[in-house]
Chain A
Amino acid sequence: MIDLKKLTIKKAQDGLRNKEFTSLELTNAYIEEIKKTNENINAYLEIFEDAIDQAKKADEIISKGESKTLTGVPLAIKDNLLFKDHKAGASSKILEGYFSTYDAKVIETLKEEGAVIIGRTNMDEFAMGSSTETSAYGITKNPKAPHTVAGGSSGGSAATVAGDMALFSLGSDTGGSIRQPAGFCGIVGLKPTYGTISRSGLMAMGSSLDIIGPFTKSVEDAEIVFNTLAKEDAKDSTCVLEKDRICEKKEVKKIGVPRSFLKGEGINKETLENFEKSLDKLRGLGYEIVDIDIPLMEYSLAVYYVLMPAEVSTNLSRFDGIRYGLSISGKDVAESYKKTKEAGFGKEAKRRILLGTYVLSHGYYDAYYNKAVKLRHKITEEMKKVFNEVDLIATPTTPSPAFAPGAKASPLEMYLSDIFTVPANITGVPAISIPAGNSSEGLPLDIQFMAPHFGEKLLFEVGKKFEVK
């Protein structure tokens, strides 16, 4: 029996190379676990039919001694990543039955590595939500506390790793969609620097904010996956050339805490107390903790809720029932569009498309969109300045532990759960969420570190020391 609970990518590599188990055995062990757990948790939407074939192919590569970093390692992908000839639907009815016509860059890389893509995971529709409650295919429960949500939007991907249904998984993070569910599920979630992992083949939500990243059980595993996937790609015009990925800082000494930002409304008391404990632990590890002030940071969420819907309204206009997906016929083209979108999109997708249309419309464009773009620029400058004083910034990842389905009464209340994660997307810096103990009710708590652009190494360095082994 392979102990899936304790398995890491490193251990799996050793096990596969030393012939302790084959990729087929490992993949089957995960599929067994999925059969036991997934019905209740609803992390996977589909187990790919060719998962077993992928594993057999990986075993051939291993037996030839041509093993690469992720050869034979089983993983899950979020339902907004394109894997040629496999279904992909962003958990939306509008893409029901759609098969990908090409591979995302990350899938291409995973294929080259000989990794085993077991299946696709549930998510908030088009990655819009913080709880997977907007999925057209039901919510994903939190494997660590099934009476609560797994978080979102990449809730399914988080739950596959937290529930030992995959060794690692991929999600996408536009405003916290990797880090927040990682926090809720008590695992590691990395949002890399914007432009380090190609967005080619990731269904676009907010193109200036979106990034793909891993869910893992350890910081070391996150580092392994990141290093494998962070390749430049001409198919993503905002992907940064590898030679330009420079971070001047080499090590972490000082960690800054934006105190005034932590005083906002609605932040759970236990979350804050636990965060102070985490800071003590960091002091114990030899880091200097200092207070910092990023005055405009508190506007990040408001800026985000202008820019993101604006980009959503543009990106989602492609789902019109003409080239793919659901199609409902009306008396003319315009009516066909309207009927298709009405029937295909869920409430939250419609809300954000309409909101985006509003902030971009004549008369409001300057007050909302242009103002938000300027403010984003200002916040980024402030952030860069702070990184002259400190090496990392620490906050909790989530303002409260995982909540029960239906607990957030209004959209705005749901949006506020991204308060600590959104600044990294607005500014493009990398950030990681790492487990930091449990609440009195036994729910996972977390800590988030942000680093300067291209400073993932710094996150891994501190993360490895901080995490409980």
Chain B
Amino acid sequence: MTNEDILKLGELAKIEIKPEEIESFKKDFESILGYIKQIESVDVGDVSPSYLTENIAREDVSKNTPGEFSSDLLSSAPNTENGFIKVKKIL
């Protein structure tokens, strides 16, 4: 892994990486990926990726009254205006 790889991961994950952190992340990832690499050598044959779990879907109907949770949820938001969550301009 290069310094650029670490910075790119930070960019993808939207986490700012401080220059002084790069080396230690690199060192950690090299040892962790070195360990993980052992799965490459296992022959799993022709298995299609499957998942252990099955979805249990509930009826797609709302049991709540409009606005029931709005004030609770909005009160958690750091920045609100007129009942909306306020964010910086996106475009």
Contact = CB atoms under 8 A, between A and B. Distances in A.
Contacts of A302: 35-39
Given A354-B13, A374-B49, A410-B31, A321 B56 contact: no
A239 B56 contact: yes
Contacts of A377: 44, 47, 49-50, 52
A353 interface: yes
B20 interface: no
Given A101-B73, A342-B15, A329 B39 contact: no
A267 to B, nearest CB: 16
B16 A338 contact: yes
Main secondary structure of the interface of B (DSSP, over half): loop
B39 A303 contact: yes
B32 A101 contact: no
A208 B77 CA distance: 28
Contacts of B53: 194-195, 208, 238, 428
Contacts of B67: none
A333 interface: yes
Contacts of A353: 13, 15
Interface in B1-23: 6, 9-10, 12-18
A371 B76 contact: no
Given A101-B69, A327-B79, A350 B36 contact: no
Nearest to B72: A101
A416 B88 CA distance: 43
A380 B52 contact: yes
Given A305-B36, A350-B15, A237 B51 contact: no
A368 interface: yes
Interface size on B, as a range, is 35 or more
A194 B31 contact: no
B61 to A, nearest CB: 11
Contacts of A371: 39-40, 42, 44
A341 to B, nearest CB: 4
Contacts of A354: 6, 9-10, 13, 15, 25, 29
B55 interface: yes
A431 B85 CA distance: 43
Given A234-B56, A342-B15, A357-B13, A411 B28 contact: yes
Contact of B49 (A329, A345, A373): A373
A368 B31 contact: no
Contacts of A268: none
Contacts of A428: 52-53
Contacts of A359: 36
Given A334-B14, A411-B32, A208 B51 contact: yes
B40 A375 contact: no
A368 B34 CA distance: 12
A337 B88 CA distance: 11
B76 A306 contact: no
B32 A355 contact: yes
Contact of B73 (A239, A323, A368): A323
Interface centre among B13, B40, B51, B90 (most CB of A within 10 A): B13
Contacts of B88: 329-333, 336
Given A208-B51, A327-B78, A341-B14, A357 B73 contact: no
Contacts of B75: 99
Given A195-B53, A237-B55, 11 more contacts: A301-B35, A302-B35, A302-B37, A306-B39, A317-B13, A322-B77, A323-B85, A324-B78, A342-B16, A357-B13, A371-B42
Q: Which 3 pairs across A and B sit closest by C-beta, in order of nearness? A: A327-B78, A342-B16, A234-B58
Interface of B: 6, 9-10, 12-18, 25, 28-29, 31-33, 35-40, 42, 44, 47-58, 69, 72-73, 75-79, 85, 87-90
Interface of A: 98-99, 101-102, 194-195, 208, 234-235, 237-241, 296, 299, 301-303, 305-306, 313, 317, 320-327, 329-334, 336-339, 341-342, 345, 350-351, 353-355, 357-359, 361, 367-368, 370-378, 380, 410-412, 415, 427-428
19 contacts: A102-B69, A234-B58, A238-B54, A299-B38, A302-B39, A321-B78, A322-B78, A322-B87, A333-B87, A341-B15, A342-B16, A351-B28, A358-B29, A371-B40, A373-B50, A374-B47, A377-B44, A377-B49, A411-B28
